[in-house]
Every structure is written in structure tokens, then in C-alpha cells.
Amino acid sequence: QNAQFRPEMMGVEVPGNIYSHISGIDIVRAPNAQGEGEYYVLEDNLRVPSGVSYMLEDRKMMMRLFPDLFSENRVAPVAHYPDLLLETLRDNSPAHRAEPTVVVLTPGMYNSAYFEHAFLAQQMGVELVEGQDLFVKDNFVYMRTTRGPKRVDVIYRRVDDDFLDPLAFRPTSTLGCAGLLNVYRSGNVALCNAIGTGVADDKSIYPYVPKMIEFYLGEKPILKNVPTYMCRNADDLKYTLANMKDLVVKEVHGAGGYGMLVGPASTQAEIENFRKAVLANPAGYIAQPTLSLSTCPTYVESGIAPRHIDLRPFVLSGKTVQMVPGGLTRVALKDGSLVVNSSQGGGTKDTWVLEDGDGTAPSQSQSQSGQSQSQSQGGSK
């Protein structure tokens, strides 16, 4: 019954048995029951996670503005992310060719993340294509070029499932390629990420991840989940409705900071309206305690002030699992706000992982582009 469930994927063997090749995992630091700072996984982004281009651009800007900081500190590099991404995409090619053809599929220039699509394609040295640039013939996908058709092996798709193939999903879509699903089912093209990964980043699946880790790996997760109340359960629904003013309530399919209520920052009228929405569809919502997220000194109109942050490292899964030592630190620029999403007025910061003399990276600090202060997760640096 999950809206992201794709029955078309039943029985499909995906290359390398990998579904989520590029994952963006949102991590926050907040006080635990003992009042000590602790890291929590806030949510998983496994469909088409975005933001990595801003990690790269923030670093480039900081190195231009404050070159001395990078010479004085052992800041681990992140500039090789496009190389790791291309390696991961090639690792998942179903074709046994030395140089598999990789493309980035974008909805087009009017998409809010188009800058990132174009940036990553340019950095990897691969073609940026739209659905109209692709066609299917003899159960293979081809790209139109000035030298004639060229077979495509791997598609890094930045298009949602519904729009990928008008023959299989939304018939009115002009963003995808007709017949793509059949080629995918035949194993003649790889899609990164796989169709159907939206089930895994559904917020009602999130509470089960620690149990998945224990079941499949036989170990406890290193990072904890945020305690979560599932409104589909009668007791959790009762608790949520009674304590809505103190909780963060989210739509299970919500993204970008939309479809959520931050109880302590909401008016009574907003809480009542949200209460009605939850009662109308309890299974569509979860609730979590309002975390006191860690803050970082941030340059704002009034000067330097603390603003709440979270961290999104990007995990690449190919023949091995790889990460660059860094990630996208998102900052809520509004005073007191806990919503860090760029669509809700949030900003970004360059994220430093500092290396020891032996090349390891024990500590992490954030520094916003345009300011020389940095803040380690444990305190001032």
C-alpha cells in the first residue's frame, strides 16, 4: 500500500544487487537523555538525493577566500567526489566494456536542481541528457549524438520514478524515455538509483532500520535513530495528538521541509489544522521529539550568531562503499528555526574533516562560506 511501491520491479535483478547507489544520510547532533551531545540519523534519502554540488562549491569558495586556513590545517579534500561518483556508476554497468557509457538524465533546465545535474555531468565528463535525447531500439537504450546513435549503459537519473517511462508509469510524461523499463528489466541498462527506492526513504520505514541492521548483520547500529512515533499505531497516535505542541510531526512522503509541523514553533490554529490532517490519515504521519540541534556560528545580518545545523554525507555504493571526508552541512538561517532545507530558506556551509598526521580524520568542523570561524562538533575550535 506504500505509494512508492513499484510492482513493475518485482522479479527484476538489478546489477550487483544494489538499489541505492547514491545515498544522502541526514545526521544531527542533539542532547541525549543524560544531556550529553550524541549523533542521530534523522532520515535517509535514497531516491534522488541532492546537494552534493553545493558541498563542492562551498569548498571551492572557502579555499578562494581563506587559503591560509587550508595551509594551516589538515583539511581532508572532497574535490575527488565526481571521480568516485563516476567510478561507482561504471561499477554498476551491466555491460562488460572497459569504458561503459554513462549519462546524467535531467528533467531539464526548469528543475530546481538543474545546476547540480549540469555541474556533476561536467565534472564527470559525461553527457547531460533529457528524455527526448534517448530512445529504445532492439531492447537497448541509445543516445542521439551528432555522430549518430550511441548505446547507453548507465543512467544516473535525476528524474522521479513516475516520469521515467510513459509506457510503464505516467502516460503524459515527456521527461522520460518510452520503453526504458523493459530495457532495465532485461538487464541491458543500469539505473542509478534503482526504480522503487522511494520505499526505503519513506519515513514510516525509517523506524525499522535498526531492526533491519540487527536482522541482516547481527549487530547493533552505531548511530541511533531519533525516537519515532508511528501514527498508524493506536497508542502512538494517542500520544502524538496529546503532545502535538511539543513534537515534530511529518508526512511519511514529505520532503524539502514541506508537510511537517514543528509543534513548539507553531500557533494553536496551525496545530489544530494539522491535528485534523493526522486524524484523517494517521498512517500518513510520524512524530518525533523536538531535538535541540547543535548550532554553529553563522554570519547573518545582525553579525555572528548561532544557527541550527544538520549534516548530509553522501555514500556511494558500487563494488565498494565509498565516501569523501565531508558532506553538506545545512543551516537554518532563520533565528531559532530547526528547518534547514534550502526550499525553506536554509543555507549551506563548507564541512571540514581534519586529518591527523597519520592521515586519519578524527574531528569535523563547519565553516560557512564568507566567515573565518569554524566550530567543531564538540565546541569551539
List pLDDT tens digits, range 167-188: 999 999 999 999 999 999 999 9
- What pLDDT is recorded for position 4? 86
365 pLDDT exceeds 70? no
Give dist(CA 241, CA 239) in Å, integer: 6
Is it true that domain 227-289 has CATH number 3.30.1490.270? yes
pLDDT tens for 232-282 read 999 999 999 999 999 999 988 766 566 788 888 888 989 999 999 999 999
Neighbours of 133 (CB within 10 A): 17
223 pLDDT exceeds 60? yes
User: Closest by alpha carbon to 20, among 52, 40, 45, 3?
Assistant: 45
286 or 344, higher pLDDT: 286
Write the Ramachandran bin of 207: left for phi over 0, alpha for psi from -120 to 50, otherwise beta.
Answer: alpha
127 pLDDT exceeds 90? yes
Q: Which residues contact 123 (CB under 8 A, 6 or more apart)?
A: 56, 82
Neighbours of 242 (CB within 10 A): 10
- What pLDDT is recorded for position 174? 92
Q: CA 114, 117, 121: angle at the middle one, nearest 5?
A: 145
- What pLDDT is recorded for position 301? 87
Record the cell numbers describing residue 249, joined without a space: 510531526
Give dist(CA 243, CA 286) in Å, integer: 13
Q: How far is CA 335 from CA 197, 299, 304, 338, in A?
A: 35, 12, 12, 9
Neighbours of 1 (CB within 10 A): 4
- What pLDDT is recorded for position 56? 96
119 pLDDT exceeds 80? yes
pTM of the predicted model as reported, rounded to 2 decimal places:
0.86
- Alpha helices (H) in 66-178, listed in sequence order: 67-72, 81-91, 114-124
- Alpha helices (H) in 125-226, listed in sequence order: 180-186, 209-217
Portion of the chain with pLDDT greater than 90, in percent: 66
- What pLDDT is recorded for position 260? 83
Average pLDDT along the chain: 88
pLDDT tens for 290-343 read 888 899 999 988 899 999 999 999 999 999 999 999 999 999 988 888 778 776
Coil/strand/helix, residue 184: helix
14 pLDDT exceeds 50? yes
For residue 277, the surrounding DSSP H or E stretch is: helix 268-280
| pLDDT-wise least confident of 43-47, 128-132, 155-159 | 43-47
Burial of 99 (0-12, 13-18, 19+ CB in 10 A): exposed
Q: Which residue has the cell 562551498?
A: 58
CB 225 within 8 A of CB 207: yes
- What pLDDT is recorded for position 357? 66
Residue ranges of E strands in 32-101: 37-45
Give dist(CA 68, CA 178) in Å, integer: 52
- What pLDDT is recorded for position 364? 47
Record the cell numbers describing residue 168, joined without a space: 510503464
